[in-house]
Amino acid sequence: MLWKIRTELADRPGALAELAARCGADDINILSLEVFTAESGAVDELVVSAGVGWTADSLTALAAEAGCIGTTVRPCQADVLSDAPTRYLRAVLRMIDDPMSVDEELGNLQGFDEYTPAEWARADVLVEIAGRLAEREDAQEGPRPGSGVPVLRTATVDDADAVVAMHERCSYESRTRRYHVPIPKLTARTARHLSAPAGGVSVVACVDGAVIGMATAAPWEELGTTTMEVAVLVEDGWQGQGLGLRLLRQVVGEARALGADRVVCMVQPENHSMLRTLERLRMRSRVVRDGDSLMVSVALSDQSLSHAVDRPSVQYRHTRATPSHRPQPTRSAGQPAREHALAALSALEPIADRAGAADRDGADRGGRP
């Protein structure tokens, strides 16, 4: 039977030879070995073939007798004997057909709950590949006004009619992702409020006189006087071309100019395109659960590091898919939390829901735009 053993060897010359000798004495054949560098020292991963009667507990005890600590043992299949580059390349091939399988692929490749820094780096690359593949699938070809290059500018109340027209061209799904509630029609009153939010700012993208995208930043007093909430909506025919990222970058800059030192964005867990857009800001960010949504907090200054939010941090999980029902990998104790804008609903610690309601046209949540 094949077993995968991950263990930390004693920090002394000959430690690996001692473990190998101990295995040899019990007719346990070491078939492969991979060494990872971790903060605590070297972590070795072995695939061994052991005879009948060996169990995970007995193999753990054998490693302890050889001076190893932190040992984890799991049964495995022969496919783990392929070299790591080949296994990761095959995972990429499978993800081309199904980008949302990245979480399952990572579970198969890593195999252990605790990731080493090298494995986190590999997982980061796989997640980025999956995101780009999924983005191609998400790109929608729909009707859109004009064919020129979008021009971004600060919005005013005079844009209200064009904002209403853009909402009417947007699909039900796009509007629901933006407002988190069904919004059959945007009223002129709400459009004026969105175009020139009190204490905040909106940026619109225009082509041939039509508004095709909009980003809004407005104060969120419950989180502090220097915190603003941001939200983005791009009509369907213009999605998947980087316009949302351009809008987000500009509105975040405008929010900083107005004195904000932190912005937050409420995102539905299944809204992969918005999560990717926030990630591509390349700014310090933190994700926590807020009811059925994810709150992505982005720091705009050294004093507003998003880790200061008085909410529990996310147990980071590399995924862009809806949650699965298999056990999820967690970080080892002592390894610092990463600043990252990706998370899945099942990887989050629950916190108390924040009160908030939508008005009749669905555009305001808890008094926010």
The pLDDT of residue 330 is 36
Give me the domains of the chain, ranges plus CATH numbers: 2-81 (3.30.70.260), 84-138 (no CATH), 151-313 (3.40.630.30)
What is the arithmetic mean of pLDDT over 268-282?
A: 89
Q: Are 50 and 59 in contact (CB under 8 A)?
A: yes
**In whole numbers, what is the pLDDT of the chain averaged over residues?**
77
The better pLDDT of the pair 164, 353 is held by 164
- Span of 253-257, 292-296, 334-338 with lowest mean pLDDT: 334-338
Cβ contact 155:369 at 8 Å: no
HSE-up of 147 (CA within 13 Å, CB side)? 3
- Report residue 68 as tokens: 């190893």
Per-residue burial over 111-150, b = 16 or more CB atoms within 10 Å of its CB, e = otherwise? bbebbbeebeebbeebbebbbebbbeeeeeeeebbeeeeb
- pLDDT tens digits, residue range 226-255? 899 999 999 998 998 899 999 999 999 999
Q: What would the pLDDT profile of 16-55 be if each residue is shown by its tens digit?
A: 888 889 898 889 998 888 887 766 667 888 889 998 889 9
Q: Regarding predicted confidence, which is higher, 353 or 49?
A: 49
- What pLDDT, in 10s, does the model give residues 58-70? 999 999 888 888 8
The pLDDT-based confidence of 329 (bands split at 50, 70, 90) is very low
What's the pLDDT score for residue 364?
A: 36
**What is residue 366's predicted lDDT score, i.e. its pLDDT?**
39
Give the pLDDT of residue 34.
82
Task: Tell me which of 91 and 135 has the higher pLDDT.
Answer: 91
Contacts of 55 (CB under 8 A, 6+ apart): none
Confidence of residue 15 (pLDDT cuts 50, 70, 90): confident
**What is the DSSP code (8-state) at residue 230?**
E
Segment 65-81 shows an average pLDDT of 83
- Reported as a single tens digit per residue, the pLDDT across 184-193 is 788 899 999 9
Indicate if the pLDDT at residue 200 is higher than 50.
Answer: yes
Q: How far is Cα 327 from Cα 182, in angstroms, rounded to an integer? A: 33
CA distances from 226 to 178, 300, 306 (A): 23, 10, 13
pLDDT of residue 205: 96
264 bridge partner residues: 229, 297
Q: What is the DSSP string of 311-364?
A: SPPP------SPP-SSPPP-PPTTPPPP--S---GGGS---PPPP--B-TTS--
Residue 355 has pLDDT above 60, yes or no: no
Q: Give the pLDDT of residue 44.
A: 86
Q: In the prediction, which pLDDT does 150 show?
A: 92
pLDDT band at 322 (very low <50, low <70, confident <90, very high): very low
The pLDDT value recorded for residue 135 is 67
pLDDT of residue 327: 35
Q: Mind listing the pLDDT tens digit for each residue in 210-219?
A: 999 999 999 9
- Cα–chain center distance at 169: 29
CB atoms within 10 A of CB 3: 19
pTM to 2 decimals? 0.49
Question: Between 342 and 137, where is the model more confident?
Answer: 137
Q: What span, in angstroms and rounded, lies between the C-alpha atoms of 165 and 62?
A: 70
Does 59 or 115 have the greater pLDDT score?
59
Q: Is 22 helix (H, G, I), strand (E, B) or coil?
A: helix
- DSSP secondary structure letters along 35-100: EEEETTEEEEEEEEE--TT--HHHHHHHHHHTT-EEEEEEE--GGGGS-HHHHHHHHHHHHHH-GG
**306 within 8 A of 341, measured Cβ to Cβ:** no
